[in-house]
Amino acid sequence: IIAFARLYDPQSFHTDPELAKQTVFGGLLAPGLYTLCLSFGQWFRLNNWESFGSPGLDKLRWIKPLRPGDSLHVETEILSLRASQSKPDRGIVIFRHEAYNQNQELIMTLECTDFVRRRPTPASSGDSTENSTGDHHG
């Protein structure tokens, strides 16, 4: 957490445990982008597809901070899947991503669109919904 924060979010409540105790947070907490990176790492390790990138994230919210020693549990729901009209070897997936701590408290949510390689064999048409979960200890 501290090494990441020193590079990308150098605020005392992320980088200095003693100064962090004196803030309104009462202790060290992870930068939101650190939590996002951990959760995306889980997502991509769990799902076996090739991404061609993303046009962006929507509805990103940090509800509660991730703190040293917390566990991170990720749940992802596929909201929609469709074939790309302009690139038939690619699909467009929209998913909702939720991260929870060890107390099952929601700490982060987002929606994301991703461009992915389609499977070589045609899949059934229409939208589908799937769930993926994973755990990470920070």
Residue 125 has pLDDT above 80, yes or no: no
- Other CB atoms within 10 A of residue 42 CB: 22
CA 50 to chain centre: 17
* Domain assignments of the chain as residue spans, ordered by start: 1-29, 31-137
| pLDDT value of position 123 | 52
The model's pTM: 0.79
Q: What is the mean pLDDT of residues 72-91?
A: 93
**How high is the mean pLDDT of the chain?**
88
| pLDDT per position as a tens digit, 16-53 | 999 999 999 999 999 999 999 999 988 888 877 778 88
The superfamily CATH assigns to domain 31-137 is Hotdog Thioesterase (3.10.129.10)
Residue 47 structure tokens: 């799902």
